[in-house]
């Protein structure tokens, strides 16, 4: 085999650096858009907490919203996106634009028809669905809460179809390197919910119904927003069913097992919801508020990186570039650890303080803060597990292997169910959150070992030193936070802006101490750029 000359070799090295820089640049863009979205999301949750607290109406809405969200992540952001992008990337690399457009048309038509039938069934069978997902409402005879949840679900369930088609559009834009638009789109959901809570609340017999209307409005707004950007790349979908189309069949074959494998965390959350319906009123709300704070770092780093690497991994697999494939996975795992480890530590140490800062106002009580703080600490302990799952699963889907994650997902799901049943008796909602975190680490461990055994993930030199550096830096940050954080009486006695300002200063101090510790410990930042 001929060795490349010096000029060729230099070009190869420069190409690798450019690729690494492009990944980092794309991740930064998506993170920035995601930060804007999550910022509005926190404002949204603060508005909900202020007007509705953790009462029965809030519980009913969180249930009615979580159900279509579960199916959305199952069909759209989870299995569908992970199955569609590798096939679309292959078409983009190897076929004419007309063939790519035909695949988009056939896929959108097929998916749209399936979702229309599911949505129709969901609206008609809302009572049955609520009974299945929250049997505690029936068991305890909470007819009013049950009826409110059913009424809300009939408004929120069509969101499934609208947001799934939005996810299809976003997957196309991501494949073509337009990451910013799909990352910004969720802002519209948050704006719609905030606006509906403020403007519609006083005009409805049941004020909390304003939130359900906000969800429906958001679905229409999000889909409409992305369509012009698809038109710019000449891929505006003209939906037509294509069940017999070869590309659609390939997506379907990949998708069916991936539905379970990519959505284990969502199934776990729904199991929490089901069991929480048997607990005291407020449990669903406490889990929701704490889960929302978990989702911020998970979206900023885990989901962002997973979104960016999937098209690249799919391309590297198609080009049979095994070293680049492994390098991309190494880069994503390191980046997740650098950002995820301190975030996890902060969520555990500052759990109650974070809940109080953002949500202690209006109908939110001190007891609600304490209860939500406990579940946030449990969720926060599992943040790294969730993030590693997000970046490891694309390593399978990019190779069009959807069966292996399914096997691991089943194991993690069964473990979560067992842990739920064991821990709920003594620790209630805290036990549910802790079980979810433990199963996330189990799933991540299995995915990691599977990629290692397949030979597609080879750990780069220096991982041992890297782990020591990050661990010591996190430990130093934790010690600093212990001395910087005041007692809970401060967080309950001060106003919102004082609490927020103090929390931002604490987080900034923690971040600076962590970054300084990494530099002193000799972390080579070039590792994060490949």
> How much is the pLDDT for 74?
65
What is the reported pTM? 0.70
- Report the half-sphere exposure of 317 (CA within 13 A, side-chain side): 22
Q: Taking 60 as the threshold, does the pLDDT of residue 9 lie above it?
A: no
Residue partners of 76: CB distance under 8 A and separation at least 6: 163, 164, 166, 167, 168
Residue 337 φ/ψ, nearest 5 degrees? -65, -45
Token pair of 30 as six digits: 């998506």
> How much is the pLDDT for 1?
39
Token pair of 104 as six digits: 């988009």
Quick one: DSSP state of residue 203?
G
Q: Contact at 8 Å (CB) between 517 and 476?
A: yes
Q: By C-alpha distance, which of 334, 304, 221 is closest to 36?
A: 304
Quick one: DSSP state of residue 206?
S
C-alpha 253: how far from chain center = 24
Q: By C-alpha distance, which of 37, 443, 495, 65 is closest to 287?
A: 65
| Angle subtended by helix axes 351-359 and 6-52, to nearest 10 | 60
Token pair of 512 as six digits: 């600076």
> How much is the pLDDT for 430?
92
Annotate 423-442 with DSSP letters as a single string.
HHHHHHHHHHHHHHHHHHHH
Residue whose tokens read 């202690």: 360
Q: Taking 80 as the threshold, does the pLDDT of residue 175 lie above it?
A: yes
**What's the mean pLDDT in 410-434?**
89
Neighbours of 324 (CB within 10 A): 20
Q: By C-alpha distance, which of 495, 514, 521 is closest to 346?
A: 514
Q: Which of 136-145, 313-322, 373-382 has the highest mean pLDDT?
A: 373-382
Residue partners of 89: CB distance under 8 A and separation at least 6: 175, 311, 314, 315, 318
**What's the mean pLDDT in 350-364?**
89
Strands (E), 111-267: none
Q: Is 101 exposed, middle or buried (0-12, 13-18, 19+ CB in 10 A)?
A: middle
Q: Taking 90 as the threshold, does the pLDDT of residue 393 lie above it?
A: no
- Report the alpha-carbon distance of residue 307 to residue 170 in Å, rounded: 10
Token pair of 19 as six digits: 């690729």
- Give the rounded percent of residues in the chain with a pLDDT score beyond 90: 33
Q: Taking 50 as the threshold, does the pLDDT of residue 12 lie above it?
A: no
Q: By C-alpha distance, which of 433, 20, 439, 74 is closest to 258?
A: 74
Token pair of 409 as six digits: 């997902």
C-alpha 172: how far from chain center = 19
Helices (H), 53-96: 56-72, 79-94
Average of per-residue pLDDT values in the chain = 83
> How much is the pLDDT for 472?
96
> How much is the pLDDT for 65?
86
**pLDDT class of 492 with cuts at 50, 70, 90:** very high
Token pair of 379 as six digits: 């969720």
- Give the rounded percent of residues in the chain with a pLDDT score beyond 70: 87
Residue whose tokens read 């969502």: 266
> How much is the pLDDT for 76?
57
> How much is the pLDDT for 350?
95
- Report the alpha-carbon distance of residue 138 to residue 136 in Å, rounded: 5
**What's the mean pLDDT in 418-428?**
89
C-alpha 385: how far from chain center = 13
- Report the alpha-carbon distance of residue 384 to residue 386 in Å, rounded: 5
**pLDDT class of 309 with cuts at 50, 70, 90:** confident
Q: Does the CA dihedral 73-377-469-446 come out positive or negative?
A: negative
| Helices H / strands E in the chain, number of each | 23, 0
Q: pLDDT tens digit string along 449-484?
A: 999 998 888 888 888 889 999 999 999 999 999 889
Q: Among the listed ranges 52-66, 112-126, 158-172, 342-356, which one has the minimum average pLDDT value?
A: 52-66
C-alpha 319: how far from chain center = 29
Q: Taking 70 as the threshold, does the pLDDT of residue 192 lie above it?
A: yes
Q: Is 221 exposed, middle or buried (0-12, 13-18, 19+ CB in 10 A)?
A: middle
- Report the alpha-carbon distance of residue 419 to residue 275 in Å, rounded: 12
**pLDDT class of 4 with cuts at 50, 70, 90:** very low
Q: Taking 80 as the threshold, does the pLDDT of residue 125 lie above it?
A: yes
Q: Taking 90 as the threshold, does the pLDDT of residue 267 lie above it?
A: no
Q: pLDDT tens digit string along 136-162?
A: 776 566 777 788 889 999 999 999 889
> How much is the pLDDT for 67?
83
**What's the mean pLDDT in 193-198?**
92
Q: pLDDT tens digit string along 47-82?
A: 888 888 766 777 788 888 888 877 776 665 556 777
């Amino acid at each position: 085999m001929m060795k490349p000359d010096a000029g060729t070799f230099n070009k190869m090295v420069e190409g690798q650096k450019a690729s690494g820089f492009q990944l980092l640049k794309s991740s930064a863009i998506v993170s920035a858009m995601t930060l804007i979205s999550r910022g509005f999301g926190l404002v949204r949750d603060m508005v909900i907490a202020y007007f509705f607290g953790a009462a029965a109406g809030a519980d009913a809405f969180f249930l009615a919203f979580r159900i279509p969200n579960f199916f959305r992540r199952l069909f759209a952001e989870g299995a569908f996106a992970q199955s569609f992008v590798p096939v679309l990337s292959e078409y983009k690399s190897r076929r004419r634009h007309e063939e790519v457009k035909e695949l988009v048309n056939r896929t959108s038509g097929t998916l749209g028809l399936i979702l229309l039938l599911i949505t129709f069934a969901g609206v008609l069978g809302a009572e049955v669905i609520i009974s299945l997902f929250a049997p505690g409402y029936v068991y305890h005879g909470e007819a009013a809460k049950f009826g409110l949840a059913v009424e809300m679900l009939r408004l929120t369930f069509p969101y499934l179809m609208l947001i799934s088609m939005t996810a299809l559009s976003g997957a196309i834009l991501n494949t073509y390197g337009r990451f910013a638009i799909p990352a910004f789109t969720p802002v519209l959901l948050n704006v719609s919910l905030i606006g509906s809570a403020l403007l519609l609340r006083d005009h409805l017999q049941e004020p909390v119904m304003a939130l359900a209307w906000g969800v429906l409005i958001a679905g229409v707004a999000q889909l409409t927003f992305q369509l012009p950007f698809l038109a710019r790349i000449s891929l505006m979908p003209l939906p037509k069913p294509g069940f017999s189309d070869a590309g659609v069949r390939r997506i379907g074959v990949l998708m069916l097992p991936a539905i379970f494998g990519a959505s284990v965390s969502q199934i776990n959350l729904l199991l929490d919801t089901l069991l929480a319906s048997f607990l005291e009123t407020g449990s669903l709300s406490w889990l929701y508020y704490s889960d929302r704070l978990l989702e911020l770092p998970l979206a900023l780093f885990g989901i962002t990186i997973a979104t960016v690497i999937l098209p690249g991994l799919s391309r590297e697999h198609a080009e049979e570039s095994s070293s680049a494939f492994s390098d991309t996975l190494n880069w994503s795992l390191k980046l997740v650890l650098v950002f995820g480890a301190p975030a996890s530590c902060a969520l555990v140490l500052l759990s109650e303080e974070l809940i109080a800062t953002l949500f202690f106002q209006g109908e939110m009580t001190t007891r609600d803060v304490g209860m939500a703080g406990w579940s946030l600490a449990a969720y926060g302990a599992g943040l790294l597990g969730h993030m590693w799952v997000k970046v490891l699963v694309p390593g399978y889907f990019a190779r069009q292997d959807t069966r292996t994650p399914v096997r691991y997902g089943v194991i993690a799901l069964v473990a979560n169910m067992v842990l739920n049943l064991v821990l709920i008796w003594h620790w209630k909602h805290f036990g549910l959150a802790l079980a979810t975190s433990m199963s996330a680490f189990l799933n991540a461990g299995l995915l990691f070992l599977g990629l290692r055994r397949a030979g597609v993930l080879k750990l780069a030199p220096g991982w041992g030193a890297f782990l020591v550096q990050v661990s010591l830096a996190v430990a130093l940050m934790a010690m600093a936070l212990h001395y910087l954080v005041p007692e809970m009486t401060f967080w309950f006695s001060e106003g919102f802006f004082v609490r927020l300002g103090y929390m931002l200063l604490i987080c900034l101090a923690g971040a600076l101490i962590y970054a300084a510790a990494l530099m002193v410990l000799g972390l080579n930042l070039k590792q994060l750029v490949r």
